[in-house]
Chains A and B, each alone.
Chain A
């Protein structure tokens, strides 16, 4: 197996699927000649030509909306929106149009569209480039929301996303693109949606996270181990569908839980995790479930973002309080 970065794993999934299925086309801003601002589509234009890889006008709504039309015509589009923060300009196409096309047409049409988009902070981007907006899309029934944390999952879940008959929002952690490396099989494999994964086992507390926050949870768990607190880390991997069973059993095993995410606290997906545990695991809980999230402020300008994104210190602090709670 080769060791790859996240971005290499994503590129390898795109290349292999475009070679395997000639209906698959890629569209987005700067994805052709430039290979995408993060080079996720590097080389695809040369390999597959301008009839498969489309450099689009700078207009997010029509990137998303035309992808729906391309899907109805019989193609399988994979659209790139350059940053999740820019999906605001396409939200009306993604949530009320793409997500509910199957429903509105009573199953006659489906939008087999994958929308890839980097998100999250920690790399000193200008404004609007780092926002973690995943919870907004979770409220768009019909859409799947996929949040890979590592190269293996990124490739296997992108292949799953492209083949999924339903539309998928595929969020890629910007900070992890080159930082996170891992072993990735050559060739075809898929990672099914709705199956969380325990990345580290410990009996004292369960840390629940997704995407880049998984690495944060793992670093926090390593620090906690030094002081004798053993944490399980659960990577949800997909928010829709949500692996309720995996979540509940991972938390029941320890009786304590801290949810970690990059999005602002209020009505972030962490709130959904807590509510689910309250309904499904209440009698196993030995302490209130804590959340470590970003504050309810706009994503700040680069020089102060380190105070904004959850840190190992904040996670460790929350875990100490949770573990000592009677």
Chain B
């Protein structure tokens, strides 16, 4: 963690330059609408704002955020060692994912993810070792356990949005009060599926929350080249439902916006688009090299807005957090992640039979013949 300059500790030129850069980045996000902000970057609650979670819930949310960050670090290391395939880290977006998932009820609500929502889908019941298996390239990682209301990870950007709308609409038609939340990014929002899905959701008033993680970059394409609009949330108006902007590095603001959207959907009032303005503090995935397009100063500038540090600062101000608590929580997380990696690596390696399984409920004879021939030759 970097030291914070104070009044007694005047800023250096470099730091002032960083501030200016930071301001530019912030302004690139700013739009005409209001942005919901509760927890300031320094960990203080903005005047007049309410903390929407109990201290215990905040500690729980922090645990999910820290778990996610730990998995990121370990997964990237495993990838470098050849023990895992390409991995997309969550780093920087933890408050956005965890804050939104905390407003969902795993017993009745659904998550339709893209691929950067690890703490959200794991909290919702997707096993951590299964999540790792997916990125390790084992087909078993695609299996969501029965009863867990999560759809498979999605690689084709925005392709999951029409699924989410159909699912929410179908639940509503069958009298369920479940709400469907689907995650996507600023890049994915340029896809035609995003438009078609939001349009249908508006028309059917499907109980869907469109959670757009505007993390500034679609691989190397900056937000400013993604759209000429000043923000993404304003698009919702064109589809006939509300769009809100939230500071995506602010756990409390994300949770508050999400809770309102979920309640609105549950009351039968239809969809909401939430634009969570956050930041991908690193590469798009392990195959990407952000130094080719991101300025180092930009990266360090966002470090100051680290969502995890913001929450721990607040907890410290409530006397609900200290170094000892952090060590203890981190030790528990390390054990959990170690066990998940161990379990994933101990999982039976895929066998050739699995290529042929689950293509059809009842494979056509031609596919059976291919399977027999292939297995005989192994």
Report A's interface with B, CB cutoff 8 A. 25, 51, 56-57, 59, 61-62, 64-75, 77, 92-93, 96-97, 100-110, 141-142, 144, 164-166, 194, 240-242, 244-245
| Residue pair A62, B197 in contact (C-beta under 8 Å) | yes
The residue on A at minimum CB distance from B197 is A62
| Residue pair B196, A62 in contact (C-beta under 8 Å) | yes
Nearest-CB distance from B369 to chain A (Å)? 8
Q: List 20 A-B contacts (CB under 8 A).
A: A59-B199, A62-B196, A62-B197, A62-B199, A64-B162, A65-B162, A66-B197, A68-B162, A68-B163, A69-B166, A73-B168, A74-B170, A74-B174, A75-B173, A93-B193, A105-B151, A109-B144, A109-B151, A141-B359, A240-B364
* The residue from B161, B170, B199 contacting A73, defined by CB atoms under 8 A apart: B170
**In the complex the two chains form, what is the Cα distance from A258 to B166 in whole Å?**
44
Q: A57-B199, A102-B359 are in contact. Are A65 and B142 (CB under 8 A)?
A: no
- Per the 8 Å Cβ criterion, residues 158-189 of B in contact with A are 159, 161-171, 173-174
B282 within 8 A of A: no
**In the complex the two chains form, what is the Cα distance from A59 to B162 in whole Å?**
11
List A contacts of B103 (CB < 8 A).
none
The residue on B at minimum CB distance from A66 is B166
* The residue from B156, B165, B366 contacting A244, defined by CB atoms under 8 A apart: B366
Interface residues on B, range: 35 or more
List A contacts of B159 (CB < 8 A).
65, 92-93, 96-97
The residue on B at minimum CB distance from A143 is B360
| Residue pair B170, A75 in contact (C-beta under 8 Å) | yes
B35 within 8 A of A: no
List B contacts of A51 (CB < 8 A).
173
List B contacts of A74 (CB < 8 A).
170, 174
- Listed from nearest, the 10 A-B pairs whose CB atoms lie closest are A69-B166, A65-B162, A73-B170, A241-B364, A66-B166, A62-B196, A69-B167, A106-B143, A59-B196, A165-B361
- Per the 8 Å Cβ criterion, residues 118-174 of B in contact with A are 139-140, 142-146, 151-152, 156, 159, 161-171, 173-174
**In the complex the two chains form, what is the Cα distance from A108 to B153 in whole Å?**
13
Nearest-CB distance from A102 to chain B (Å)? 5
The residue on B at minimum CB distance from A97 is B159
| Residue pair B152, A109 in contact (C-beta under 8 Å) | yes
B203 within 8 A of A: yes
The residue on A at minimum CB distance from B144 is A108
**In the complex the two chains form, what is the Cα distance from A110 to B203 in whole Å?**
26
Known: A93-B193, A97-B156, A110-B361. 6 other contacts (CB 8 A): A62-B199, A66-B162, A67-B166, A68-B166, A102-B358, A102-B361
List A contacts of B47 (CB < 8 A).
none
The residue on A at minimum CB distance from B141 is A106
Nearest-CB distance from A90 to chain B (Å)? 10
Nearest-CB distance from B213 to chain A (Å)? 21
B192 within 8 A of A: yes
* The residue from B170, B357, B364, B366 contacting A72, defined by CB atoms under 8 A apart: B170
* The residue from B156, B165, B358, B366 contacting A62, defined by CB atoms under 8 A apart: B165
The listed residue with most B CB atoms (<10 A of its CB), out of A61, A64, A242, is A61
| Residue pair B156, A65 in contact (C-beta under 8 Å) | no
